[in-house]
Structure 1
Amino acid sequence: MEKNRSADRVNKVADPMLRRIEEIDHRIEELAKDQGRCTSKIFSSRPPFVNNVMSTPAPKGFKMPLVPQYDGTTDPVDHLATFRTMMLLHGASDGFLCRAFPTTLTGAARDWYSRIKPDSISNFDDLGDDLVRHFMSSRRPRKTTASLMALQQEDNKSLKIFVSRFNREALQVPNLDPSVVANALLAGAKSNDFWRAVVRRNPHSLADLMVGAEEYISVEERSPVRNKSLPMVSPRP
């Protein structure tokens, strides 16, 4: 048993990324000492995690994945999701997520971490919530049903291009109601024939709606003469 523990300690020291995690745990304290009493009032001299988090070991054979650095200028939710997914794939526990997360921070995000109250973080969800609150202004505007209703097919753009654009926007709207999204698509398209084809299909999901739209477009593209005669007016539900 003692031999196994010794081997684990050797492996831990040998991994540069794990060494970096250990160094970060002490970096704030060193900065405070170097900068003097004034700096110690600004930066915490101890890590923000409780003892059981700090004692969480790295998974056996763990190698830190390459996670993009976060500086506070982009959406913090995206960074949290990327970090969590990559770390969980490598078998990291919740406590180790906390310990490893500071290695992905730089700039303003590093400053934010340095100012967290010591012994105040006991799990990764709390750490993530704190990050999101602090960098709320950097979050991407979330798409809504109203933004879908505002989409319109441009006169010089094909139905295929409009449907593709609509689908990209719709995928960013959470908890979409199929009837609402169908109405939004039909309101934005300019073909009455397309409107009738979608209504006949009565789609029950966004995926079903897109399949129906692709089928109509496929038929339309194979009938160029017919397409020229199609009236292009705003449909009425």
Structure 2
Amino acid sequence: MGKGHLIMAWEMTLAQISKSPFVRRINKARLPYWFSQPTFSLYNGSTNPVEHVSHFSQKMAVHIGNEALMCEVFPSSLGLMAMRWFDALQEGSIWSFRELTRVFGARFVMCSRVPKPLGSLLSMVMRERETLNTYLDRYWEMYNEIDGDFEDVAVRIFKVWLLTEHELRKSLTMKPSHSMRQLMDRIDKYKRVEENQTQGKGNAKALLEKRDSRGGGYYNNQPRRDVPNQTSSAGAQVINSLFKEPIYQILEKIKK
């Protein structure tokens, strides 16, 4: 492409951007002199557009009655990809904030998050050698994608899928948690224990390496641990047996 074509393309882009998709009534409206624009999370086209509009409306709650202001500020909450969509809107095609959010939702509707079913938590088994912190990240990520109030069920399921030999599972069996807050307090305690143990093992390993380098002792970098294991085949049998039953029966077992 020659220099002339590039200049022409640039001028056409500027001309398109300079055209407002809002009707004259909105374009001519003046911003309140006391208006201070909130900080928005920019929409990048990869999340639910309804959630973005809700977040924007909450930030602009005190100005919700000023439709022109809502329309003019909304583009400030859009990221690069969404701004391309906004700049391409037909001139004078938007006459209200409701219409703006309608076309916005229609364009990015495929980005809406599909809620996960409650049964998704039944697959969140703690893996062999997985740290409590890593397991928590996976478990809460899945829990946050489930719509509905299932806090009590989530608390029970969390204990069921911990490794049999895990100290936290033993503690929850002896004294169950009855709320998410109680469970999180117990988890925090065992996370600190796990972190201290990991740090202690690192210090002990460094000490052994130092002694071995001086010829003062025998160092084995793969110590044996004679602890009971949950084999992957056993875990698979449990999962398979669970999913052969309806979920309401599974939840009744968990409650017991």
TM over 0.5: yes
Could you tell me whether the CA contact under 8 Å between 1:48 and 1:120 is conserved in 2?
A: yes
Q: Which runs of 5+ in 1 are unaligned?
A: 1-29, 35-44
| 1:20 equivalent in structure 2 | none
| 1:167 equivalent in structure 2 | 140
| 2:8 equivalent in structure 1 | none
Q: Aligned equivalents of 1:204 and 1:49: distance in 2?
A: 56
1:92 to 53, 63, 79: 63
**1:210 is the counterpart of 2:184:** yes
Q: 1:166-210: per-residue Cα shift (whole Å, max 9, x none)?
A: 234324433331232124313331135544533554434333322
Pair 223,47 (structure 1): closer, same or farther in 2 beyond 3 Å: closer
Pair 127,207 (structure 1): closer, same or farther in 2 beyond 3 Å: farther
Give RMSD over aligned pairs.
4.5
Could you tell me whether the CA contact under 8 Å between 2:53 and 2:101 is conserved in 1?
A: yes
Q: Aligned equivalents of 2:95 and 2:187: distance in 1?
A: 49
Q: Aligned equivalents of 2:155 and 2:107: distance in 1?
A: 37
Q: Aligned equivalents of 2:21 and 2:37: distance in 1?
A: 20
Amino acid at match of 1:197: S
Pair 55,188 (structure 1): closer, same or farther in 2 beyond 3 Å: farther
The structural deviation recorded for 1:221 is 7.1
Pair 113,71 (structure 1): closer, same or farther in 2 beyond 3 Å: farther
Amino acid at match of 1:203: S
Pair 189,139 (structure 1): closer, same or farther in 2 beyond 3 Å: same
Aligned pair count reads 192
Q: Give the SS at the match of 1:59.
A: coil
**Larger-gyration structure (1/2):** 2
1:178 to 134, 148, 151: 151
* Mapping of residues 69-218 of structure 1, within 5 Å: 70=43, 72-77=45-50, 79-88=52-61, 91-94=62-65, 95=67, 96-105=69-78, 106-107=80-81, 109-111=83-85, 114-115=88-89, 122-124=96-98, 127-191=100-164, 194-217=168-191
Could you tell me whether the CA contact under 8 Å between 1:48 and 1:117 is conserved in 2?
A: yes
Pair 103,194 (structure 1): closer, same or farther in 2 beyond 3 Å: closer
Amino acid at match of 1:173: I
Q: Give the SS at the match of 2:63.
A: coil
Q: Aligned equivalents of 1:199 and 1:54: distance in 2?
A: 64
The structural deviation recorded for 1:103 is 4.1
Could you tell me whether the CA contact under 8 Å between 1:67 and 1:104 is conserved in 2?
A: yes
Pair 154,109 (structure 1): closer, same or farther in 2 beyond 3 Å: same
Percent identity for Structure 1 against Structure 2: 19
The structural deviation recorded for 1:80 is 3.2
Could you tell me whether the CA contact under 8 Å between 1:145 and 1:176 is conserved in 2?
A: no
Pair 222,48 (structure 1): closer, same or farther in 2 beyond 3 Å: closer
The structural deviation recorded for 1:150 is 1.8
The structural deviation recorded for 1:135 is 0.7
TM-score scaled by length of structure 1: 0.55
Q: Aligned equivalents of 2:114 and 2:157: distance in 1?
A: 19
**1:61 is the counterpart of 2:34:** yes
Could you tell me whether the CA contact under 8 Å between 2:21 and 2:94 is conserved in 1?
A: no
